[in-house]
Amino acid sequence: MKSIAKKNVVLIGFMGTGKTEVGKLLAVALNRRLVDTDEQIEAAEGRTINEIFASDGEVYFRRKEAEVIADLCRQTGLVLSTGGGCVINLENVRNLRENGYVIWLDATIEELKRRLAGDNKRPLLAKNKDFTALYRQRAELYRQAAHVRIDTTGKSPLAVSEEIIAFLQKDA
Ligand code: S3P
């Protein structure tokens, strides 16, 4: 994997595509540090994503998200797990691509609905009754942002992580 050098490996994708779980496995396999942008925001703010959305709204959250991403993209050699909405800001996309391989984790809408059933940590799920419309809007943005798309439907996080490593070895 000589050619991937120290570029970051960046996971993007809709809520429930497994970015955090896959990120953990990938970081171990590549012997890299995993940084999850949502966790960074929560740590910096000292409150949960739900609390941030409830008190200060989505615009405030997006500003914090952009700051965290800009900061992390100045570093190298990371595995970065991002929040599902980061691609709506094109500056985030530019930053992530500048110094990283951007991997889009995807799954069918049916599978995402199954994985997210009962979730109460994601404010946008509560707000968006039309899950399918949100997914469709986002899918185009993921497509434009990513170097590669990996379908995670029916696959374990380990299988997905192995697929990413194969991509990095072959194509990156
Ligand atoms: C969001 C996804 C969440 C989190 C926030 C907003 C989104 O991250 O950043 O709730 O806009 O899709 P996950 O994709 O890790 O759930």
Q: What H or E segment, with its residue span, contains residue 35?
A: strand 33-36
Identify the pLDDT of residue 78: 97
What is the pLDDT confidence band of residue 120, given thresholds at 50, 70 and 90?
Answer: confident
Two tokens, residue 41: 């925001």
CATH code: domain of residue 61: 3.40.50.300
Residue 3 has pLDDT above 60, yes or no: no
Mean pLDDT of the chain: 94
Domains held by the chain: number: 1
Average pLDDT over residues 10-14: 98
- CB of 79 closer than 6 angstroms to any ligand 1 atom: no
| Residue type for position 13 | G
Residue 128 has pLDDT above 70, yes or no: no
Q: Which residues contact 4 (CB under 8 A, 6 or more apart)?
A: 101, 168, 172
Residue 2 has pLDDT above 50, yes or no: no
C-beta of residue 43 within 8 angstroms of C-beta of residue 164: no
- CB of 18 closer than 6 angstroms to any ligand 1 atom: no
Q: How many CA atoms lie within 13 A of 105 on its CB side?
A: 34
Exposure of 88 by Cβ count < 10 A (0-12 exposed, 13-18 middle, 19+ buried)? middle
Q: Which domain holds residue 106?
A: 2-171
Atom 2 (ligand 1): residue with closest C-alpha? Answer: 84
What tens digit of pLDDT does each residue of 40-52 get?
A: 999 999 999 999 9
